[in-house]
Amino acid sequence: MSQPPIFRRWPPREPELIQLYSMNTPNGIKVAQALEEMHLPYEPHTVNILEGDQHTPEFLWINPNGKIPALYDPDGPDGRPISLMESAAILVYLAEKTGTFMPLDPDGKSACLQWLFFQMGHIGPMFGQFGHFFVYARDKCDHPYPVQCYSNETRRLLGVLEHHLDNRNYLLGESFSIADMAIAPWVDCLDTFYQAGKHLKLKEFPAVHRWLERCTERPSYGIARRVCDPEDRDR
């Protein structure tokens, strides 16, 4: 069997392991955390999106959309290799592969997927647009509307989380799940990366703060933040 094209640019040292192609962005962190929590042996490869690695032919083989993270599992369904794009799809795949971090009962699984899709449809896009205009586009767009618009929407979404997390330890209640893994890095980056805690008045969301502490204090989160860090030359 011929090797996948992505191996040409990021040759695996241990090709029998799951191969992760990523960077330590919120979307990258959530998949790395899942691999750590599920105790799945994997080999990480840094795809530096700041240098355009995601647009190379080798990476476009695994994700035609040119976005991280992507994953290659040599031991996929029925023992056949499988390549995956889209972070939420990867989380669901890993949860089903291991039978962990996503409820098996229909009601619990439905609730987990709803919050996972909430992240993909709302949290990620809106927080990302907020960060773009609040941090990266300041010297390109001096009109106040984009920052005001995305600040308001970010706070509205935080309010949705605040209401839901009141009297809950995690999004599904007492069980940490792939939904928490998906949303926590995005909430975390508002203050740690965008430095927008004061601007967004994050202290007004105490339930979100307590939940975020529970998520980020897990050892797997600290590891996931370092996985595929372009500053780590050993990756």
CB 96 within 8 A of CB 114: no
Q: What confidence tens digit (pLDDT) does each residue in 191-227 have?
A: 999 999 999 999 999 999 999 999 999 999 999 999 9
Please give the pLDDT value at position 196.
97
pTM of the model: 0.95
CA dihedral sign of residues 99, 72, 170, 114: negative
pLDDT digits (tens, 9 = 90+) for 91-132: 999 999 999 999 999 999 999 999 999 999 999 999 999 999
Q: What is the pLDDT of residues 164-185, one digit of tens each?
A: 999 999 999 999 999 999 999 9
pLDDT at 234 over 50: no
CA dihedral 98, 102, 104, 109 (to 10 degrees): -150
Report pLDDT for 194: 96
pLDDT at 147 over 70: yes
pLDDT digits (tens, 9 = 90+) for 63-102: 999 999 999 999 999 999 999 999 999 999 999 999 999 9
Q: What pLDDT is recorded for position 1?
A: 54
Measured distance CA(87)–CA(35) in Å, rounded: 12
pLDDT at 232 > cutoff 90: no
- Cα–Cα distance for residue pair 140/217, rounded to 1 Å: 37
Mean per-residue pLDDT of the chain = 96
**Beta-carbon contacts of residue 142 (< 8 Å; ≥ 6 apart):** none
- Residue 140: the pLDDT is 87
Q: What is the CA radius of gyration of the chain?
A: 18
HEC sequence for the chain: CCCCCHHHHCCCCCCCCEEEEECCCHHHHHHHHHHHHCCCCEEEEECCCCCCHHHCHHHHHHCCCCCCCEEEECCCHHHCCEEEECHHHHHHHHHHHHCCCCCCCHHHHHHHHHHHHHHHHHHHHHHHHHHHHHHHCCCCCCCCHHHHHHHHHHHHHHHHHHHHHCCCCECCECCCCHHHHHHHHHHHHHHHCCCCHHHHCHHHCHHHHHHHHHHHCCHHHHHHHHCCCCCCCCC
Q: At 138, is the pLDDT very low, low, confident or very high (cuts 50, 70, 90)?
A: confident
The rounded percent of the chain whose pLDDT value lies above 70 is: 98
pLDDT at 231: 84
